[in-house]
Chains A and B, each alone.
Chain A
């Protein structure tokens, strides 16, 4: 079945440093979504990427979808303590099939 691999599993950064998490799918995706989960909280939808090579920005967050629609990345510029949490990518083969989640990258930001 479809698998979504996400690296790194953990990342510790100093406040102000950049952070990137990478996601790879074993199959071509129709779309990829990114979620953030704070400790003790539930996943919160961040963004959805649909087009090959798509790049979207949300303030300090930059999301990319690969040309082959099998990989994606989330980059945070100049991390802040409020960025702490686990970032999950999740891919789907079509609009109505359930998402397959990566294992997540747990980000710690040291002030």
Chain B
């Protein structure tokens, strides 16, 4: 089946650090990937839609300069949290759109900013 790899799975870093998260579709091409944020015991909140070869589309309230998204190839999208602060601590999950319109999720990245 379709596999999405997300790396790293866990990041702990100091305030002010920039963190890059990678999302790869391993056995299929994904022109569209999505980035979500999930706070403890809450649902997934869509942050942005990442389209290969074009600019990402951000949801209302998500700062594009804070959360940089690059989708340079059909199998890779990256999310960079720039100058991260404690309030950015969260679980970030990417997904890639499969041929049947179902989303295949990565394992998620737990980001902790000290």
Chain A positions within 8 Å of B, measured between CB atoms, are 31, 33, 35, 41-45, 48, 88, 90, 92, 95-96, 98-104, 106
Contacts and interface: CB of A to CB of B under 8 A. Distances in A.
A42 B32 contact: no
Interface in B61-102: 93, 97, 100-102
Contact of B101 (A43, A44, A48): A48
B103 A101 contact: no
A43 B32 contact: no
A45 B44 contact: no
A42 B108 contact: yes
Contacts of B34: 98-99
A33 B106 contact: no
> Taking chain A's interface residues, is the majority helix, strand, or loop, or is none over half, making it mixed?
strand
Contacts of A88: 43-44
A54 to B, nearest CB: 15
A43 B44 contact: yes
Contacts of A104: 43
Interface string B7-42: 000000000000000000000000010100000011
Closest 8 CB pairs of A and B: A103-B43, A95-B101, A42-B105, A42-B108, A101-B44, A101-B43, A45-B102, A43-B105
A101 B93 CA distance: 13
Q: Which of B41, B43, B49, B106 is packed against the most chain A CB atoms within 10 Å?
A: B43
B93 A96 contact: no
B107 interface: yes
Contacts of A41: 107-108
14 contacts: A31-B101, A35-B105, A42-B93, A44-B105, A48-B100, A88-B43, A90-B103, A96-B97, A98-B49, A99-B46, A100-B46, A102-B43, A104-B43, A106-B41
A37 B112 CA distance: 21
Nearest to B2: A45
Given A33-B103, A48-B102, A92-B101, A98 B43 contact: no
A43 B108 CA distance: 9
